[in-house]
A and B are shown apart, each in its own frame.
Chain A
């Protein structure tokens, strides 16, 4: 452990009820930069962590509507204004015929927005996250829950963090270091 950069403090919990209790304890202690890691979404954890509901629907609806309006404009530009063709004796601006593609492009742009938002806010694309270096975290994607206090939080210091997690009912409380410091644990992971 030479000049190891401390990234945070991890503690494990094995039951969802205990996780809720631990999350409430950390929330009430006033931590801001911390997170719970779970193998599947746990109901009621957002409240216990003091998180607001996801804002995704507003972004998705907004971009979806833009996509729909865009589809109407593109179709009108191409078939009514740039190269007008009479089809079946209909009006030039026969908008009902444009509805299917308006709908499809609404869905398509909304779909891309969801996927993009998951990269921006939903935890996709975090290949280089320091948590991946901790062997402890491997249990999270199987059947255990972790509470992680980030070292960037203003309240964070090693002693307090450890005490808080233990008080919150976590076991295996460990400091989180970057990979090259944890020689012992990283050796076990590879062949």
Chain B
């Protein structure tokens, strides 16, 4: 009845995108029954997740010895995967916070989705250091400054302690930022709901949001502050992660280039992962008119730019090692490019530096089919980057008699694959239960959305 009483005077419906059909398109996956394909994908993801369950069980009940870690390579895949997943998360914050501060309006189509990815990527990342402690249920006593019967405290001068604070702060702030952004969208879903349960659940999730302008006034400022805080935060998090390496005295790790190199790598891998998932989601959820080829094009430009930064870091690392004249430093890098892990090094260089150069071509940047292999290879390459940094520096330590080669066990492999299961499960559920596009922000950037003297007339 509210539709019939509506007396909109000049609602000609000439625009391609209106507020109403944004809602229709974005909320369709939430309001229709999922397809068979979705159920198949979910079963596959849950099967992968169960691998994580098995591997975690082995780690906890048999022991950390089920991992392939050996005496020189004490960090193995565990820390490789931790750094890999934290890096993936960074794209979400970059898109939602940094591009927000830079007033890049194209971000509205992809920000909410990328933030969701951040949350689950950080959850995955946290699994590895937690299980690496061997007794995750006691980890709080070793990681946080809690009073204990030994009357000792954690060592605040250690980068590992900084890391705990950086990553958990990152997780909590990203979570609040993401949720605050979702609130007005949940309110839209609530008000569209036909069924009582749906109304109740989204009513609770929407925190009773009613679009009040007295609320928007603080909300907008709060959102801006979140973006302002998240920007230095995201840069600090991967810098602190790189301190785990750079503050140590291991040749190959002890370099000043690490913080910016890690941050660039994180953005690189994160954007590749956003593309990897987004290409599938926009197809399955029919969002191609909102997440357009222009968006993919822009993301690919970021990928190729960060690829160059990463490539620069690889070459300057080698140059500085040679230029330093340090015997151990020189050996570490010579061993990296020609030792037992050389295959991994060249895999990394090919995937991260050579292949992404294809994205200089507009045709490839704008073709889903052609760019897909590139972004997949970037994901692979960035995992290898962390593996190379960790294993090649550790396996040949200062005492040649203890040199060893790292071989992953089934538990290592399952833990890693399992985190992909958690990732995909979360993404699939997110696409069904929450709007994957920030409808509110999208509406605010439509050409007719703002009053004329406030920029509404342009375009």
Contacts and interface: CB of A to CB of B under 8 A. Distances in A.
Interface stretch (B310-318, B320-328, B345-353, B446-454): B446-454
A172 B5 contact: yes
B225 A110 contact: yes
Nearest to B457: A17
Contacts of B226: 111, 114
Contact of B225 (A114, A135, A141, A190): A114
A29 interface: no
Contacts of B211: 37-39, 140-141, 146
B213 A35 contact: yes
A40 B195 contact: no
B2 A54 contact: no
B173 A111 contact: yes
B157 interface: yes
Contact of A16 (B145, B188, B451): B451
Contacts of A166: none
Interface in B104-151: 145, 151
A141 B190 contact: yes
Given A79-B157, A191-B195, A112 B451 contact: no
A16 B207 CA distance: 25
Nearest to A188: B1
Given A78-B153, A141-B188, A142-B188, A107 B169 contact: yes
B183 interface: yes
Contacts of B400: none
A74 B173 contact: no
B219 A90 contact: no
B95 to A, nearest CB: 18
Given A37-B212, A39-B211, A127-B204, A122 B218 contact: yes
B408 interface: no
A191 B210 CA distance: 22
Contact of A44 (B9, B443, B454): B454
Interface stretch (B229-237, B272-280, B362-370): B229-237
Interface string B189-209: 011101110010001100111
B221 interface: yes
Interface string B152-174: 11111111011001100100110
Contacts of B440: 39-40
A139 B20 CA distance: 10
Nearest to A145: B211
Interface in A1-52: 12, 14-17, 19-20, 35-46, 49, 51
Contact of A35 (B172, B191, B212, B452): B212
| Interface bin, chain B | 35 or more
Contacts of A123: 208-210, 212, 214-216, 218-219
A144 B204 CA distance: 23
A117 B176 CA distance: 12
B222 interface: yes
A138 interface: yes
Contacts, number: 245
Interface in A139-191: 139-144, 146, 171-172, 185, 188-191
A20 B443 CA distance: 17
Given A46-B217, A56-B218, A123-B215, A172 B7 contact: yes
Contacts of A121: 215, 218
Contact of B191 (A79, A129, A138): A138
B66 interface: no
Contacts of A20: 451
25 contacts: A35-B213, A37-B213, A40-B184, A45-B216, A54-B217, A75-B156, A79-B153, A87-B155, A87-B157, A100-B159, A104-B162, A104-B233, A107-B169, A107-B233, A111-B169, A123-B209, A123-B214, A126-B209, A127-B203, A132-B208, A137-B191, A137-B210, A143-B18, A172-B5, A189-B199
Interface of A: 12, 14-17, 19-20, 35-46, 49, 51, 53-54, 56-57, 60, 74-75, 78-79, 82-83, 85, 87-88, 90, 94, 97-98, 100-101, 103-105, 107-108, 110-112, 114-115, 117-119, 121-129, 131-132, 135-144, 146, 171-172, 185, 188-191
Q: What 5 pairs between A and B have smallest CB-CB spacing?
A: A123-B215, A143-B19, A43-B454, A126-B208, A122-B218
